[in-house]
Structure 1
Amino acid sequence: MIGILVAAAIALIVSIMFTPYLIRVFSRQGFGQEIREEGPQGHQSKRGTPTMGGVAILVAMVVGYAVAHVITSMVSDDSEAPTASGLLVLFLAVGLGLVGFLDDFIKIRKQRNLGLNKTAKLVGQLVVAIAFAVLAVNFADEYGFTPASIRLSFVRDLTIISFGTIGFVVFCYLLVSGWSNAVNFTDGLDGLAGGSSAMVFGTYVVITFWQFRYNCGLKTPTVGCYDVRDPLDLAVVAAAAMGACIGFLWWNAAPAKIFMGDTGSLALGGLVAGLSITTQTELLMVIVGGLFVVEMLSVVLQIAVFRTSRRRLFRMAPFHHHFELAGWAETTVIIRFWLLAGICAMFGLGLFYSEWLTAVGS
């Protein structure tokens, strides 16, 4: 428990203090955001706002995780060293963050709103996702648990659906690509993606700590226990990510002093995917991260309807721009979407707990 609190606190402090430094550096270097001409006209005033603020989130998250392990090793004889699960999830986030950083850097250098082309971004996500997937199914602990399961999971493995190793690698790539793009689509208003991500990671602090308390890897497993490897370390990762997002939100909230850019949104999406895989809650994450799902579906539906009927389903996609063009103030859209994100997170947490009650009672 100490490690979770330390990770969240350190990540929060680092993020709050490091972000203004990045704002000054990126402003001097001219690392400003380019804005789409076809977007809401109110966004044109944001042109030139420093971007690539996701660097602060990643640095804060990694520092929070590392310091938490150092401090817990000093104050507790039972402290855990960094685990395969925790390090793999961090690797996935940092790897996708690097892909996003290249995308942001190209946008800045070429003074356009398009960075890496689709093929290059696809290859970057593919390489990171495959490396994560292969490693996640090959590191077994003393109980035979690997960081990931080759079965599809809701709160626990669905034994009737198994991908096999190769199928799991493909499934993992689809999840990583889907979630990273979903968070990327959500990152269109000041603080929307950061605040929503903080709620998702806060929810997973509770989920992973609960899995730790009722873990089948313990010497005396309880009824309804979870076959999840390293849940406590995953709780530390989730807490560090939550603290980093909240700290960054201090500067990213409307009116934003800095944007996270693809550096942050792809990294956070990768973290969402990694946590869902290593906690064996891939389907539950669809509910917990419901706002991201809705934002991505709005883009998919907009494209599908336009290509088939030459009409637009929404005034503009992603979904949050539809309400802006309908006359809602940007802050109104942000706050109401945060409320939706919170409702999704709490509903998902309620489903997680109700499943545990069912498992214990059966």
Structure 2
Amino acid sequence: MIGILIAAAIALIVSILFTPYLIRVFSRQGFGQEIREEGPEGHKSKRGTPTMGGVAIIVAMWAGYLTAHLFNAVSDRNGEAPTASGLLVMFLTTGLGLVGFLDDFIKIRKQRNLGLNKTAKMVGQLVVAVVFGVLAVNYADEYGLTPASVQMSFVRDLTIISFGTIGFVVFCYIAVSGWSNAVNFTDGLDGLAGGASAMVFGTYVVITFWQFRYNCDAAEPTPGCYDVRDPLDLAVIAAAAMGACIGFLWWNAAPAKIFMGDTGSLALGGLVAGLSITTRTELLMVIVGGLFVVEMLSVVLQIAIFRTTRRRLFRMAPFHHHFELAGWAETTVIIRFWLLAGICAMFGLGLFYSEWLTHWPAEGLTP
């Protein structure tokens, strides 16, 4: 538990202190955000605001994660070494952050709102997702437990839905691509994606610690226990991510001094996908991260309806812009969407706990 608190605190401090340094450096280098010409009129004043702030989030996450393990090692606590699950999730987060960094850098150098083309971005996501997926189902411990399962999961594995190894790798790509793009779509208003992400990761601190508390004993598994590998290390990562997002939000809240860019949004989306897969809660994450899902669906529906009827469902997609064009102040949209994100996160956590309640009578399990 102390390691979780240390990871959150260090990530928070590093993010708060490192972000203003990035603001100064990126401002001197002219690394400013380009704004869509067809976007809301009020956003054009944001042109030139430093971007690629996701670098601070990733650095803060690594700092929190490694410091927590260093503390455990020095204090001779259990679990001092980084685990396979933890390193895979950090690899996925950092790898997608690198793809986003290249996208942001090209936008800046070419002074346009389009960085990597769709094919290049898809290839980048594909490579990172495939490496993650292959290792996640093949890196078994001494008991044969791998960081991920080839079965679809809600709170636990659904045995009726099994992908097989190849199908799982394909599913990994779909999940990674879907979540990274969903967070990317949400990152359109100051602090919206950062605040919503902090809520999702805070929820997963609770979920992963609960899984650790009632994790299956490989030698003598208890009925109703969670068959998840390395849940405590995943809790450390979720805590570090929460702290990093909150620290970054200090500078990213309206009016933003810096944007996370694709560097941050793709990395956070990858982390969402990685946590859902390694904790075996892929379908539960759809509820916990409900705001991201709705934002992505608004884009999909807008495109589909426009192509079939030549009419727009929303004034603009993602649909947070719809409310801006309807006359809502940007801060009003942000706060109300944060409330929606919090409701989704709490509802998902409630479902997780209610599923647990069905296992109270199991021998050895107490609430």
For Structure 1 versus Structure 2, the TM-score category normalised by the shorter chain is over 0.9
Moved beyond 2 Å, runs of 4+: 76-80, 217-223, 359-362
Q: How does 1:22-171 map to 2 (within 5 A)?
A: 22-171=22-171
Structure 1 residue 219: Cα displacement: 5.5
Q: 1:234-249, aligned counterparts within 5 Å? A: 234-249=234-249
Residue 277 in 1 paired to residue 273 in 2? no
User: Which AA in structure 1 matches 2:175?
Assistant: L
> Quick one: distance in 1 between partners of 2:268 and 2:234?
15
Contact 1:32 1:49 in 2 (8 A): yes
Tell me how far apart the structure 2 counterparts of residues 92 and 117 of structure 1 sit (CA, whole Å). Answer: 21
Q: CA separation in 1, counterparts of 2:79 and 2:10?
A: 18
Structure 1 residue 218: Cα displacement: 5.7
3-state SS, counterpart of residue 160 of structure 2: strand
Contact 1:214 1:221 in 2 (8 A): no
Report if the CA contact (8 A) 1:143-1:217 is conserved: no
1:158-201: per-residue Cα shift (whole Å, max 9, x none)? 00110000000000000000000000000000000000000000
Question: Partner of 2:176: helix, strand, or coil?
Answer: helix
Look up the match of 1:310: 310
Q: Residue deviations 1:107-159, cap 9 Å, x none?
A: 00000000000000000000000000000011111221100000000000000
Q: Distance in 2 between matches of 1:357 and 1:219?
A: 24
Counterpart contact for 2:143–2:218, Cα < 8 Å: no
Q: Tell me, what secondary structure is at the counterpart of 1:360? A: coil
* Superposition deviation, residue 222 in structure 1: 3.6
CA distance in 1, matches of 2:17, 2:289: 28
Aligned residue number for residue 355 of structure 1: 355
- What is the TM-score normalised by the length of structure 2? 0.97
What's the CA shift string for 1:235-269, capped at 9, x where partnerless? 00000000000000000000000000000000000
Alpha-carbon distance, 1:77 to partner? 3.5
Match in the other structure for 2:365: none
1:190 and 2:190 are equivalent in the alignment: yes
**Alignment partner of 1:103: what SS?**
helix
The answer to which of 258-267 and 67-76 deviates more is 67-76
Deviation, structure 1 residue 7: 0.2
Contact in 1 for aligned 2:203/2:345 (Cα 8 Å): yes
Structure 1 unmatched ranges of 5 or more: none
Counterpart residue type for residue 250 of structure 1: W
CA distance in 2, matches of 1:138, 1:248: 35
- Tell me which amino acid in the other structure corresponds to 2:21: Y
